[in-house]
Every structure is written in structure tokens, then in C-alpha cells.
Amino acid sequence: MKRELIISNTVELIRLHAEDIVSIEADGNYSTLHVVGEEERVVLSQLGQLERMISEQLAEDAEAFIRIGRSLIINRYYIYYINLNRQQLLLLEPSGRRHETLRVSHESLKKLKELIEGK
């Protein structure tokens, strides 16, 4: 991935390489970007708006991003661990830095696991 995502609104602009985005979590009218090497960045954009920006700006690189339920978009290349019974998803950066373990519905994790396995 070499493309950049530009998130812009009336008060801020954020420019990120697509491969630096680990995940995006919804929080009402805000979203939290989890970025490689950084803790997090809160932006004034809803998750649906960011999902549209990803598909419009990243072209073929947009396939790296998967929407899981109503509140989460992840970069498939950072998936490290899925546990269906515990409803856990762990994302890992190339440096080995762990991001928090996310709680995701059993059904969403099952679909994600099948997608990765190519079923």
C-alpha cells in the first residue's frame, strides 16, 4: 500500500499512509484512529464517513480495510489473533507492538476468520 488517506473537516486535516492505519473505532460523531507507532488520534468524523473516504481515496488499497459491525474498521494486514470463544481480536504492528485486544461479536469474528481463511 502506498496511497494516502486525507481526512479533512472545517478544523483539521490529517494525512496518513494507508499502511499506517491499524484500526478505526467509532465513538458517536467522533472516530478514533489507531496508527502505527502512535497511541491514537480522535477525529471529528463518523465511521461511515471514514469508510467512504477509504473507498474513494485508496482505490485498490481499500480492500485492506474491513468493517466489523457498527463500530470498527480494521486493517486486515495487522490481524494477529482471533478467538471466537472469548470474542477477542488482537492486532499487531510489524514492530511487534500490540494494540489493545478488541471485543468483537462472535458472528463478526467468525465471518472475519472465514474471510482470512479464504472460505
Give residue-wise pLDDT tens across range 42-89: 999 999 999 999 999 998 889 999 999 889 999 999 999 999 999 999
pLDDT at residue 119 is higher than 70 = no
- Give the pLDDT band (50/70/90) at residue 102: confident
Q: Average pLDDT, stretch 12-32?
A: 92
pLDDT given at position 2: 64
Specify the DSSP element, H or E, that contains 110: helix 106-117
pLDDT given at position 97: 81
Check the CA dihedral 72-77-80-85 and report its sign: positive
Please provide the size of the chain in residues: 119
